[in-house]
């Protein structure tokens, strides 16, 4: 019930705020209409919090556009990330977890990647989690593009930008220009409805509003670990999921305001944390919301300012049975903050970014049967970064950030990088960067006196990263990207069972990750498109063992081809995942998935129909289970279908 009340309150605030929003919106072009030779010069906003051209950024950048999302049938942010070079996504029937380049242990709530939605840091303040599935804040139809910048990003974004940054840029009302409705049907009795309205008003204000609902009954799942003692090992009617989403966005002149809310309920078939198997209730509930108000101004021809104030909230609830008795818990997190940044170009060849941020996590609570845990955190940060064009071919990027917290876990994060244009077709990039992550409230203070114990002595995690990137464009419509990297992680936080069956988090010894990846991207004049990538990684802990759920090899290929011109497009995706160890150190076998999507536009005027078959070849495969689950691996879905109809009222 608290989730329903929270959603109504937040939506009232969203609508009320938009009603008084002052106005003309900045027109944003459709990136899907940009040919590759221009796309490689598209501004990337994440790497340095300054718009940079991809060819000048010293980081390796991956981009998935709205057209990619449509052509390959990506339904969640997890689908989008799973298509990117060197990344993997695992689902343990509770949450989706992203991995790559030395991280990605299933059940590792922090994830160590920062998620930004138009600049708002969307990770919660209890677990520092980024939500990628049906618990995510956005419908994929609202996404203009997703950028992923690999490597530490604490120099600009601070705590949590550890192994990479995901930046989502949302669409504008102008891009919808009216009302759009959609309905979807999928396997396991899945269904979804969405209504979106977007428009540029007569006064120039750009307005976007959207709401959606989703439901899936899930499936009955077999776990051999529970097939004993009178149980057949089947969890029945314990894989269902449903959600509700709301999103609103407006801009007028220098002002912009946006907010979102999602509530998600998920049945849990895994009997996690030694709960009773195949017992009801066994469920998780999550609700996230945010408001982000921003003011941008050009103070002079050489000085720009951006001022932002934001609010975020997160709630979760878990219900499990233990020996026939109900155990329930709730987590509540709320935070607000403000930041100001300046971009100064008065010095020839230099683009200086200077900023400061104050953030107050004023509620970080866990309500347990044993009592309520309450924590608060305050952080003050300042940072400076310089993008220095030494010559038309050479760009240097260097800076540092200072974070001061009332938990006394202060941190300085430096970074340096360069981009050198070897020729008009080839650019070499090199970078050294550092990042940190504070232990979150769950890791450091959570204790229910039976399942998990607190550890107030946890220290900051640290990472040092070295990366070399080579980008080559032999032809205007072809782009080749390759990279070498080495990461050293210190004091990594992880859970260990103590006293037999009680979890406790500790700072683990150092781990190392090294690897290489390569990607080829090509566009053709008839609208066909191809992207293929291969990644090799060697991730080891202090004992020299391969990191859990870390494959040595990953390969991906995506091909889109117009079958009947613009009226019918096909999207074929092939994903290969190599062998990797599970939590018991047994080897999970490799697998290859094939996904097929067909998109028919203008079936009748203003109607678009899409259909997908995921895991087309119906392969049996599994991912590593979380350490707090009895099974070592979790079976994934076989062949599934998805059908969507979108109608625009113009």
| Residues in CB range of 121: below 8 A, 6 or more apart | 114, 115, 157, 160, 310, 312
Residue found under tokens 């769950």 = 442
Angle at 576 between CA 571 and CA 582, to 5 degrees: 135
Query: Residue 223 and residue 635: Cα distance in Å, rounded?
Result: 9
- Could you report the per-residue pLDDT of 242-262, keeping only the tens digit for each? 999 999 999 999 999 999 999
Q: What is the pLDDT of residue 57?
A: 55
CA distances to 71, 302, 421, 524, 546 from 35, rounded to whole Å, are 16, 31, 21, 9, 41
Contact between 537 and 85 (Cβ < 8 Å): no
Q: What is the pLDDT of residue 548?
A: 86
Domain boundaries, given as residue ranges, for the chain: 2-163+191-649
Joined together, the tokens standing for residue 545 give 């063992």
Q: What is the pLDDT of residue 293?
A: 98
pLDDT band per the 50, 70, 90 thresholds, residue 241 = very high
Mean pLDDT of the chain: 89
Query: Residue 43 and residue 56: Cα distance in Å, rounded?
Result: 10
Give the mean pLDDT of 9-17. Answer: 45
| Coil, helix or strand at residue 32 | helix
Give the mean pLDDT of 298-302. Answer: 95
Total length of the chain: 650
Minimum mean pLDDT range among 56-65, 199-208, 395-404, 420-429: 56-65
Give the mean pLDDT of 283-309. Answer: 96
Give the mean pLDDT of 506-521. Answer: 94
Q: What is the pLDDT of residue 88?
A: 93
Q: Which of 433, 448, 442, 376 is nearest to 407 (CA)?
A: 376
DSSP assignments along 552-597, one per residue = SEEEEEEEEEESBTBTEEEEEEEEEE--EE-TTSPEEPPEEEEEEE
DSSP assignments along 358-392, one per residue = EEEEEEEEEEETTEEEEEEEEEEEEEEEEEEESSS
- Could you report the per-residue pLDDT of 580-633, keeping only the tens digit for each? 998 888 999 999 999 999 999 988 899 999 999 999 999 999 999 988 899 999
Q: Is the dihedral of CA 103, 107, 108, 111 positive or negative?
A: positive
- Strands of 422-567, DSSP E: 426-437, 452-453, 461-472, 478-490, 493-498, 502-507, 511-523, 529-540, 553-562
Q: What is the pLDDT of residue 21?
A: 41
CA distances to 252, 284, 359 from 93, rounded to whole Å, are 42, 11, 33
pLDDT band per the 50, 70, 90 thresholds, residue 37 = very low
Contact between 558 and 572 (Cβ < 8 Å): yes
Give the mean pLDDT of 151-169. Answer: 88
- Could you report the per-residue pLDDT of 318-339, keeping only the tens digit for each? 999 999 999 999 999 999 999 9
Helical H segments across 162-250, by residue range: 173-176
If one looks up domain 2-163+191-649 in CATH, what number appears? Answer: 2.40.170.20
- Could you report the per-residue pLDDT of 425-470, keeping only the tens digit for each? 999 999 999 999 999 999 999 998 778 899 999 999 999 999 999 9
- Could you report the per-residue pLDDT of 473-498, keeping only the tens digit for each? 999 999 999 999 999 999 999 888 88
pLDDT band per the 50, 70, 90 thresholds, residue 60 = confident
- Could you report the per-residue pLDDT of 367-425, keeping only the tens digit for each? 988 889 999 999 999 999 999 999 999 999 999 999 998 877 789 999 999 999 999 89
Q: What is the pLDDT of residue 17?
A: 41
Q: What is the pLDDT of residue 188?
A: 98
Give the mean pLDDT of 304-312. Answer: 97
Give the mean pLDDT of 85-109. Answer: 88
HSE-up of residue 155 (Cα within 13 Å, Cβ side): 26
Query: Residue 457 and residue 228: Cα distance in Å, rounded?
Result: 41
Under DSSP, the state recorded for 229 is T
- Could you report the per-residue pLDDT of 127-148, keeping only the tens digit for each? 999 999 999 999 999 999 999 9
């Amino acid at each position: 019930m608290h989730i329903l009340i929270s959603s109504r309150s937040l939506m009232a605030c969203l609508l009320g705020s938009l009603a008084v929003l002052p106005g003309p919106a900045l027109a944003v072009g459709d990136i899907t209409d940009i040919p590759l030779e221009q796309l490689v010069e598209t501004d990337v906003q994440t790497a340095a919090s300054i718009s940079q051209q991809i060819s000048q950024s010293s980081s390796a950048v991956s981009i998935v556009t709205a057209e990619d999302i449509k052509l390959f049938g990506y339904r969640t942010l997890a689908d989008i990330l799973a298509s990117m070079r060197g990344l993997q996504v695992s689902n343990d029937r509770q949450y989706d977890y992203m991995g790559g380049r030395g991280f990605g242990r299933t059940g590792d709530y922090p994830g160590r990647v920062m998620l930004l939605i138009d600049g708002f840091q969307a990770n919660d303040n209890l677990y520092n989690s980024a939500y990628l599935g049906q618990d995510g804040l956005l419908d994929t139809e609202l996404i203009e593009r997703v950028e992923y910048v690999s490597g530490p990003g604490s120099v600009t974004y601070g705590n949590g930008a550890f192994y990479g940054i995901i930046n989502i840029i949302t669409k504008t009302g102008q891009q919808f220009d009216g009302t759009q409705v959609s309905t979807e049907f999928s396997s396991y009795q899945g269904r979804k409805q969405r209504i979106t309205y977007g428009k540029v008003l007569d006064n120039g204000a750009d307005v976007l509003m959207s709401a959606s609902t989703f439901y899936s009954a899930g499936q009955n799942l077999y776990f051999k670990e529970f097939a004993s003692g009178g149980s057949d090992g089947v969890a029945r009617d314990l894989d269902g999921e449903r959600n509700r989403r709301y999103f609103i966005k407006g801009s007028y002149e220098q002002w912009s305001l946006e907010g979102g809310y999602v509530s998600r309920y998920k049945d849990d078939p895994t009997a996690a944390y030694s709960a009773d198997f195949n017992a009801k209730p066994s469920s998780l509930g999550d609700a996230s919301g945010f408001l982000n108000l921003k003011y941008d101004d050009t103070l002079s021809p050489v000085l720009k300012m951006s001022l932002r104030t934001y609010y975020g909230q997160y709630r979760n609830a878990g219900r499990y049975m233990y020996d026939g008795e109900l155990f329930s818990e709730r987590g509540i997190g709320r935070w607000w903050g403000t930041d100001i940044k300046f971009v100064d170009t008065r010095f020839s060849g230099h683009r200086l970014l200077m900023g400061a941020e104050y953030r107050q996590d004023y509620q970080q609570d866990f309500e347990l049967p044993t009592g309520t845990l309450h924590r608060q955190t305050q952080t003050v940060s300042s940072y400076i970064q310089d993008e220095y064009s030494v010559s038309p071919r050479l760009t240097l990027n260097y800076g540092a950030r200072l974070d001061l917290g009332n938990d006394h876990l202060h941190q300085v994060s430096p970074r340096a990088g360069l981009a050198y244009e070897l020729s008009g077709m080839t650019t070499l990039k090199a970078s050294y960067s550092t990042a940190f992550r504070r232990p979150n409230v769950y890791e450091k203070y959570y204790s229910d006196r039976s399942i998990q114990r607190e550890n107030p002595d946890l220290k900051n995690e640290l990472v040092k990263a070295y990366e070399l990137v080579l980008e080559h464009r032999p032809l205007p419509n072809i782009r080749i990207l390759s990279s070498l990297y080495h990461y050293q992680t210190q004091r990594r936080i992880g859970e260990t069972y103590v006293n037999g069956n009680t979890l406790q988090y500790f700072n683990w010894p150092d781990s190392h990750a090294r690897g290489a990846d390569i990607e080829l991207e090509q566009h053709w004049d008839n609208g066909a498109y191809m992207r293929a990538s291969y990644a090799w990684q060697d991730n080891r802990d202090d004992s020299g063992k391969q990191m859990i759920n870390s494959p040595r090899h990953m390969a991906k290929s995506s091909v889109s081809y117009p079958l009947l011109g613009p009226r019918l497009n096909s999207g074929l995706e092939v994903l290969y995942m190599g062998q990797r160890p599970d939590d018991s150190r047994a080897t999970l076998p490799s697998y290859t998935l094939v996904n097929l999507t067909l998109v028919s536009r203008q079936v009748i005027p203003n109607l678009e129909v899409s259909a997908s078959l995921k895991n087309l070849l119906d392969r049996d495969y599994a991912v590593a289970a979380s350490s707090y689950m009895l099974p070592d691996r979790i079976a994934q879905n076989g062949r599934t279908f998805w059908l969507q109809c979108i109608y625009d009222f113009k």
